[in-house]
């Protein structure tokens, strides 16, 4: 399916802009695709006339996220009461 999307955009006349963002480099994409030949063909079409921007730096994703950590201590022993 990934190859089909890329191939349609690659063969389209006129503007065929695609924007990809990933936290993994293209060399790691093979871990997520089962068919190596279709991945290689897709990458060939993607990078044929591509402009690649490699951006390094701190991520702003989750900056507003509040993290709460809880720790449980020793369980309290509850005495059994006889009825």
| pLDDT score for 10 | 79
One-letter-per-residue 3-state SS of the chain: CHHHHHHHHHHCCCCCCCCCCCCCCHHHHHHHCCCHHHHHHHHHHHHHCCCCCCCCCCCCCCCCCCCCCCCCCCCCCCCCCCC
pLDDT tens for 10-69 read 777 767 778 878 887 777 777 777 666 877 888 888 888 788 887 788 777 777 877 777
28 within 8 A of 64, measured Cβ to Cβ: no
Pick from 16, 5, 13: nearest CA to 39: 5
pTM: 0.48
């Amino acid at each position: 399916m990934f190859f089909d999307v890329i191939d349609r955009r690659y063969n389209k006349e006129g503007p065929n802009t695609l924007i990809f963002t990933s936290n993994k480099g293209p060399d790691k994409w093979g871990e997520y695709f089962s068919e190596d030949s279709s991945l290689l063909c897709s990458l060939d079409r993607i990078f044929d006339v591509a402009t690649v921007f490699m951006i390094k730096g701190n991520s702003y994703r989750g900056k507003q996220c509040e993290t709460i950590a809880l720790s449980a201590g020793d369980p309290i022993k509850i005495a059994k009461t006889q009825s």
